[in-house]
Structures are given as structure tokens and as C-alpha cells.
Amino acid sequence: MKRASSSPGFKEASGAFGFAGDATDAAPHWSGHRERLRTKLLNRGAGALDDYEILEVLLMAFIPRRDVKPIAKALQAKFRTLSALLAAPAEEMVKVDGVGETVAAYLKAIAELNSRAAREEIKAREAISSWSALVEYVRREIQHEAREQFRVLFLDRKNQLITDEIMGRGTVDHAPVYPREIARRALEVQCSSLILVHNHPSGDPKPSRADIDITREIIDVLQPFDITVHDHLIVGTAGVVSFRSSGLI
């Protein structure tokens, strides 16, 4: 009997992902592995899975007819950490054999879900009272950015997040920051305080002299409006440095 052609819904799986069709009617070797992995997840919880196995579970949904274990391990090898993978541009993801634009889009959607969930957690409580949640949020957002990014977390009178906005994008070692523009935006959103955040693409979060000077300028500009700068966080892959904890403000 002539084999029916693949349905249009699996066009990417059979093209971009290199699926060539089963040689026989027998179940492929990886189908049992998928079932065992699903059972492990459901019975023992996601915490029982290694990072590459979590990736496998996700890829199983996106790539229905291919052994995804090699793809998961290739993603892990290229990006090393899950946070780096989810922060990576889609054009970097598709360089991994077996990853097409659809899979990259799904992974970026998952990354956005993580960011929004973290943002909701910050909004639901006082940002400055939940240090671990705040640090996790800012690390997830910018620790893997290839260029410097200066962000401001604008807070209300209860120190809850009003909005998190990018106020400057720059090069690998500098992002332009305009204190008066930050003051203008703070008045627009009617914030009572704020937290400054920027990243060091080098990975080292140690503050530079320029970081210290710009922080002082922003504090001075906001002082007449009675708007407090609670902290300035510098984020790198090596960690997060707090100006307040370091005695710099």
C-alpha cells in the first residue's frame, strides 16, 4: 500500500527538522522513551528531571515525529544554562540542528511567560521586601543581554511595581542614561520611589566609577520631587551587586 503523504500540519517537522518518514510501520525507538519521560514527570514531578529532559518534554510537543533528545542536548551544549537559552535571540536558537523558526518562537513564548510570571510576583508584593524575587526577576530579564541595558523599576507608595521600563540601550560596555528623562518619566507614572537596574555584559557586576557617578546624578535630580532611589542593581552572569548593600547609596 502506498504511504500517505505527510499532512500540512507537520510541514516544519518533516522539512526544517529533517524528518524523512518511518522506514517501517514499527514504532520508532524513541516513542517508548517519550512515554517513560512523561510518566517520570507526572509521577515524580518536574524537579526529578534533568535540564535536558525538561527541554525534551517541551520539544516533544513542538516536534511530534522525531527523536528530540539529541536536539535537547545540543541546545544545552550551545547555551549551557536554561536561562541563557531562553534569553537567546531566535536567530541563535535556529543555528542548532533540528530547531526551526516554530520551535524558536515557542521557546521565546515560554521565556516571555516566565518574565510575566516573575513581574506579577513583584507586583503582588513590596518589591524591596522580597529581595530573592527581585533579584531573580532582574537576572532573568537582563543577565544574558549582549549589550548594556539600563532599566528603571518605578514603584508606588506601597513599593509595588508600577512599571519596569528600559531607559537606555547601548554597547557592550556603555548605555546612555539621561537623569532628567528618568525624572520626567517618574512624574508621568506618579511613582514615589524607584530601583535602578543595569547589566554588565562582561559578566562582572562590580560597579564602575561611571556607574557610581550616574547613580548620584539621578538621586540629585529626583530629590526636589521627593522621589527615592531605593537601590541600583548591577546584573552580571557572575551575580548581582546592590549599591545599598554595598554602602554606595
Structural domain contains residue 69:
yes
Q: What is the CATH number for 84?
A: 1.10.150
The sign of the CA dihedral 201, 206, 209, 212 is positive
161 & 231 share domain: yes
Helices (H), 124-178: 131-142
Q: What is the CATH number for 229?
A: 3.40.140.10
179 & 233 share domain: yes
Structural domain contains residue 64:
yes
Structural domain contains residue 137:
yes
**pLDDT score of 233:** 94
What's the pTM value of the predicted model, to 2 decimals?
0.57
Structural domain contains residue 139:
yes
176 & 231 share domain: yes
- Please tell me what DSSP assigns to residue 13: H
132 & 109 share domain: no
The domain boundary, picked from 113, 141, 156, lies at: 113
The sign of the CA dihedral 128, 133, 137, 138 is positive
Q: Work out the angle at residue 66's Cα, subtended by the Cα atoms of residues 11 and 53, and round it to the nearest 5 degrees.
A: 125
In order of 14, 28, 121, 134, the CA distances from 131 in angstroms are 46, 48, 12, 5
Number of other residues whose CB lies within 10 A of the CB of residue 202? 13
Buried b (16+ CB within 10 A) or exposed e, 33-55: ebeebeeebeeeeeeebeebbbb
**pLDDT score of 21:** 43
Structural domain contains residue 3:
no
- The amino acid present at 137, given as its one-letter code, is Y
User: What are the tens digits of pLDDT across the range 128-144?
Assistant: 567 777 888 888 888 78
Structural domain contains residue 10:
no
Q: Which three cell numbers stand for residue 136?
A: 531573580
166 & 132 share domain: yes
- Please tell me what DSSP assigns to residue 224: G
Structural domain contains residue 228:
yes
The domain boundary, picked from 81, 113, 145, lies at: 113
Question: What's the residue count for the chain?
Answer: 249
83 & 151 share domain: no
Q: What's the rounded Cα separation, in Å, for the pair 142 and 110?
A: 16
Which residue ranges in the chain fall short of pLDDT 70? 1-31, 119-129, 171-174
Per the structure, the complete domain to which residue 52 belongs is given by 26-113
Domains contained in the chain, number: 2
148 & 73 share domain: no
168 & 233 share domain: yes
**pLDDT score of 24:** 47
CB 165 within 8 A of CB 151: yes
**pLDDT score of 23:** 44
Structural domain contains residue 120:
no
Closest CA to 59 of 48, 51, 67: 67
Q: What's the rounded Cα separation, in Å, for the pair 240 and 198?
A: 10
**pLDDT score of 8:** 38
